[in-house]
Structures are given as structure tokens and as C-alpha cells.
Amino acid sequence: MKSRKFIKKLPLLIGLIFLSFSAILLVWRLLPSERLEQKLTIPAGLLPASPEGLELATHHDISLCLRWPKQIKAGDTAEVWLQVNPGEVLESFPANEDYQIVLSAELAMIGLSQSPQGEIQTAFDESRVTTLAWQLQGDTEGEYQGTLWVNLDFMDKNGEMIEVPIAALDIQSEIKSLWGLNTISATWLGMLGLLLWGGMMIWGVKMEHSA
């Protein structure tokens, strides 16, 4: 008699196992990753990396804020953001009226696929915050290091470009998987586990009410 009752409860127990397995997979898939942040302020004045003989300067502070994911789930896509915020204009440093200034940045993360690749360029607007973004993706577990180079490009009236580096920011992210599964596999297995749990629940209820 006891063995018969146990057999009737067995589908419910197996269903709970499937439910627990699915919950772990789906929670891991949906749990947001921690983000790290690095800030740097470039003071107004002559740029140290400007070519000798050229007094290329900024007449306001430039604040850089870099945000990136501490961990990236295998198979998932994560974003890196760079915000460039010009500060208040300082009259003691005149503007570079003979040049058009272009903001450029390039992110290099060896071992991870990224988009866009290469250097990003945009007109440097001193009146608003400029945001640049990259997407990172990886499938192999491990720690990956990279560097973001930020430049101000001064284009003269003849169309010649003078590149002046203003910052090199180091970042590090870790690719993580769950039991060797990436996000796609974890999602499908989690959904399958929910379906099996539902099937076991229906089967268990029918067995409970059977003669």
C-alpha cells in the first residue's frame, strides 16, 4: 500500500526536480550582470600629447565616464558605454578657432567579438554630452582585458587631421557559463524543464485520482 502511494507521488516529485532545474537556469539567464565604472577628467589647457610646435588646447574640462560589464554570460551580448561631458568654458584658454575638433575612440578586447570594430568618430560638441557604445560577445569562459583609446582629432582648414590622444582606459570582463551552457542553451533547457514539470503535474494529479 505504501509503495503504491509512493508511486502516485513520484510524478509530483520528479516534476519538482524539473521545476527547480528550470528555475536555476532561467534565473541565471535573467539576472543582470554587475557593471563597473571608471571616471577621468581632462583639465582645460594645453593638451600634453599635442605635437611639438602646435598649441592645441581645450578651453574647458572634459569628463570621461566609462561603464562596462564585470561579467558577460556566454553567448550573451553586453554593452560598453563611454560618456564625454564638456565642463564649463574657461576664458583663460581660448578656443581652437582654426580647427574643427572630432572625438574619436577605439576599443580593443582581444578574444571577444565586438561591434562596431575599429575607430568611432563623431563631431565634438562642446554644448552637450556625447555617448559612444560598443557591444561585446563571447562564448569561451575566461577573463578578457582590453583598452579604450580616446583621442581629439583637430582638422585644420586644409583638411589635415592632427590626432591628439587624451586617455587610455583599461577594462576587464569575465565570460561565465552555467554548467558549460551559454544563454541560448540555458533558456531552451529552462523552458523544456517547465514543460516537463507541467506534464508531470498533470500526470501526478491523474494518478492521485485514479482508482
Task: Give the integer Cα–Cα distance in Å for 31 and 23.
Answer: 12
Task: Name the domain count of the chain.
Answer: 2
Asked if 82 and 128 sit in the same domain, the reply is yes
| List of the chain residues with pLDDT < 50 | none
pLDDT at 166: 93
Asked if 65 and 93 sit in the same domain, the reply is yes
The predicted-structure confidence for 120-172, as pLDDT tens digits, reads as follows: 999 887 778 899 999 999 989 999 999 999 999 988 778 788 899 999 999 99
Q: What is the CATH number of the domain that holds 122?
A: 2.60.40.10
pLDDT at 11: 77
Asked if 3 and 81 sit in the same domain, the reply is no
pLDDT at 116: 93
Asked if 151 and 49 sit in the same domain, the reply is yes
Asked if 46 and 132 sit in the same domain, the reply is yes
Tell me how crowded residue 155 is: count the other CB atoms within 10 A of its CB. 14
Per the structure, the complete domain to which residue 93 belongs is given by 36-177
pTM of the model: 0.82
Asked if 153 and 58 sit in the same domain, the reply is yes
Asked if 109 and 139 sit in the same domain, the reply is yes
Asked if 51 and 108 sit in the same domain, the reply is yes
Tell me how crowded residue 90 is: count the other CB atoms within 10 A of its CB. 14
Asked if 97 and 56 sit in the same domain, the reply is yes
- Grid cell, residue 35, equals 557593471
Asked if 80 and 153 sit in the same domain, the reply is yes
pLDDT, averaged across the chain: 86
Which residue, among 102, 109, 105, 145, has the nearest Cα to 124 in the 3D structure? 102
Asked if 13 and 82 sit in the same domain, the reply is no
Asked if 142 and 45 sit in the same domain, the reply is yes
